[in-house]
Amino acid sequence: MAKQPASPEARSVRLLKVGEQVRHFLSDLLTRQEVHDEVLTSHSVSVTEVRMSPDLRHATAYIKPLLGANEEAVLKALRTHTAYFQKEVAQRLRLKYAAKIKFLADESFDVAGHIDRLLADPKVQRDLTTGD
């Protein structure tokens, strides 16, 4: 009997669940300092989000070092140890295929700060308050 294709909603829920599991495993590896790298052990790194491709073969992990310090050095260290992270995540997830992990800096905090600064601008505040 042929398997019915999953609905788009079910696929997206599965992508979110798997992405959250990958994020949790990566965070756990970084918190326990299981990667023997001087840069990674000297920095607190947050994995803010992991986005999975629809076929679950690629994962994009968005990271942010504590206070944004030495972001490029942390990214370089993570990319150097990508094979280790992929192996550990594959062993823990037990999916059909091991996901290829790509590490990127999370820019969402910078964007949120920029929006806050724009909203705090006196000209914008004047426009927001005069309408009442």
Average of pLDDT values for 14-35?
89
**pLDDT tens string 52-97:** 999 889 999 999 888 767 888 888 999 999 999 999 898 888 877 8
pLDDT over threshold 90, residue 14:
no
pTM: predicted TM-score of the whole model, two decimal places: 0.74
- Taking the C-alpha atoms of residue 115 and residue 90, their distance in angstroms, rounded to an integer, is 38
> Which domains are assigned to the chain?
8-107 (3.30.300.20)
Cβ–Cβ < 8 Å for 105, 62: yes
Instruction: Please name the residues in contact with 95: beta carbons below 8 A apart, sequence gap of 6 or more.
Output: 18, 56
Segment (H or E) for 18: helix 8-31
Percent above pLDDT 70 for the chain: 84
Dmax (CA) for the chain in angstroms is: 66
Question: Please, what is the angle between helix 8-31 and helix 82-93, to 10°?
Answer: 120
28 vs 3, higher pLDDT: 28
* pLDDT for residue 7: 56
